[in-house]
Chains A and B, each alone.
Chain A
Amino acid sequence: MSPPERPALVRPEQGRLLGGVAAGLAGHLGLGALAVRVALVTLAVLGGSGIVLYVWLWALVPDGATGTAWAGEMGRRPPGRPGTGGRTPNRSRDILLGLLLLLIGLVFLGLRAGWGDIPGLVPLLVVGCGAIIAFSQLDEVERSRLATRTGAGTRAAVLRVVAGAALVVLGAVLLAVQGSGLVQSGRILVAVLAVLVGLALVLAPWGLRMWRSLDAERAALAHQTARADIAAHLHDSVLQTLALIQRQSGDPTAVSRLARAQERELREYLYGPPEVQHATLAGEVRSAAAQIEDLHGVAVDVVVVGDEDLDERGAALVAALREAMLNAVRHAGAPVQVYAECGPQGVEAFVRDRGPGFDLDAVPPDRLGVRGSIIGRMERHCGTADVRTAPGEGTEIRLRLPAARTVEQRGCDEASADQRGDGE
């Protein structure tokens, strides 16, 4: 596939005299700007068609600075302008213009039938218009083969090519029927139409196949991209971890830690929710547990029900929960089960381990790390924390944080007492 090495048809900002039409046209067709201008003026003087052509091009050809469709070739699209956004009105405008031109052509046909004016000029003009429309679409059609365009954009391009071709045909017919009567030219038109319909019927399957192969190509490209993404991810994560595991195969703790961390990462990649912009309570709880797993190599299973945005009080709860998980991991080991539930009443969280447990009363007041970092922290935010443990029974730390609204309405003490009653 070799795209035509031809500058896109735009109205350049530099070198324009009026609307930049002549300069753009000259650049696009590879002619001198002067020649184009002379030709346009000549056309304008001889019957005014030059003016029509100029105005039409002015309306249709995008400005060099803001143009989207033509100027967008190979990343030259101006930044900050989305690829497909704002194209719909453009497209319908183009189609309308095409129809308008067809109408003008028909009017000229009527004029010609009435009184012969300047022989050959109008049909040639119509042919030229059609050719330009079809011509200017070449770039776009080529680009659509690169599967970067949506189907709708391609369809619009095809429509415009068809409109251009119709104009050319109309002009050619006008040329051919010069001098003959209206009835006869009508007949010829019908004949030409019949031939075209026949051609379309013959070529339709071929066109369809082209279209399908384009679709298949596009799908294959998407598939390839997805595959490459997955391969890149696996290379960076799983393969690296496997290499690390082989090198540390003598150290079972390290191996199990690596495997666990990798498993979590892969699970997140495969089944995880799409990334959220803001921090949520559930996300923070999970990432705190993940950090502790990595740090200590002990599995921490997390179940979270419901979710809410993280505020200052939620962050305090997560910090206390983190401390509780650390305690469980240090003193009890796997398995550690974490459960957090967000509801309208507030947040509740539990950390349970199956360690030896301990006698709460036997722990000296100054030794209990639970006291300051967990209980104190919760109470500062109108929450509560308590520890349930007994020797041989494992330990469960429960944290409760009443909803902010309840605290506002009923005050700190009552809110926490309320939630305590509800939870039992």
Chain B
Amino acid sequence: MSVRIVLVDDHGMFRSGVRAELAADPTIEVAGEAGDVESAVAAVSEHRPDVVLLDVHLPGGLSRPGGREVLQRCAEHLAARPPVRFLALSVSDASEDVIAVIRAGARGYVTKTISGPELASAIHRVSEGDAVFSPRLAGFVLDAFGTGAGEVAAVDDELDRLSSREREVMRLIARGYAYKEVSRELFISVKTVETHVSAVLRKLQLSNRYELTRWAADRRLL
């Protein structure tokens, strides 16, 4: 089944570059493009794509970063069945941007230096409801949840800490392992890896963890 996407980025050159790269994958169809917050919201409503490739820094709108505002204004599509899913794509890997779009509902974050095939597989992963973690995002998670300092949750559904399994998965991703390699390393299925990653994403979105809040507040986010 092919995946319909909408490309949101304020640089036309970058949009056409991504379009050309994704043309190599026949299962991905670019339904629409947008260059600012307003047109992005309109394009999402009009095309109802499976996945929106969303630049974090966008002109227009009332708040910054613009990508977060798009997510907030598309809340109904995010909650719909089937939902519109967002994958954030940016040159910026400043931590506040990463956290802003993830907490607003994006299901992953990749930087613009990602290769074409990798981007295509990330889009497929997001369209199936899984999360996409780059090594850098995994590093942020480990840092923000104090996992490096040895804090590990006793029960899996504790929101403010990672379980030891989730920690291991995050560490392997931070080390540059693909999901398949993680599954081989930990003797679990790829599906289980995806479950863990989605659980971490959920914690990242919902946690009230003190450090996370302070971290964001320090950067005038909340």
Contact = CB atoms under 8 A, between A and B. Distances in A.
Interface of A: 267, 270-271, 299, 301, 303-306, 335, 337, 339, 341-345, 350, 352, 396
B148 A342 contact: yes
Interface of B: 92-94, 113, 135-136, 138-139, 142-143, 147-150, 171, 174-177
Contacts of A335: 176
Nearest to B97: A271
Nearest to B92: A271
Contacts of A301: 135-136, 176
A396 B175 contact: yes
A309 to B, nearest CB: 16
B135 A339 contact: yes
B150 A344 contact: yes
A339 B94 CA distance: 18
Contacts of A350: 175-176
B161 to A, nearest CB: 14
B143 A306 contact: yes
B176 A306 contact: no
Contacts of B135: 301, 303, 337, 339
A360 B106 CA distance: 42
Instruction: List the 5 closest pairs (A to B, CB-CB), nearest first.
Output: A337-B176, A303-B139, A271-B94, A306-B148, A305-B148
Interface residue SS majority, chain B: helix
B174 A339 contact: yes
A350 B175 CA distance: 7
A83 to B, nearest CB: 28
Nearest to A335: B176
A305 B93 CA distance: 15
Contacts of A344: 149-150
Given A267-B93, A270-B94, A301-B136, A339 B175 contact: yes
Nearest to A336: B176
A341 B148 contact: yes
A339 B148 contact: no
Contacts of A352: 175-177
Contacts of A306: 143, 148-149
Nearest to A337: B176
A341 B150 CA distance: 11
B149 A343 contact: yes
B150 A305 contact: no
B151 to A, nearest CB: 10
A339 B139 contact: yes
Contacts of B177: 352
Contact of A341 (B92, B113, B142): B142
A339 B136 CA distance: 9
Contacts of A345: 150
12 contacts: A270-B94, A271-B92, A271-B94, A301-B176, A303-B136, A306-B143, A306-B149, A339-B135, A339-B139, A343-B148, A343-B150, A396-B175
A270 B92 CA distance: 9
Given A303-B174, A305-B174, 4 more contacts: A301-B135, A303-B138, A337-B176, A352-B177
A396 to B, nearest CB: 7
Contacts of A342: 148
A335 B138 CA distance: 17
Contacts of B94: 270-271
A339 B150 contact: no
A399 to B, nearest CB: 12
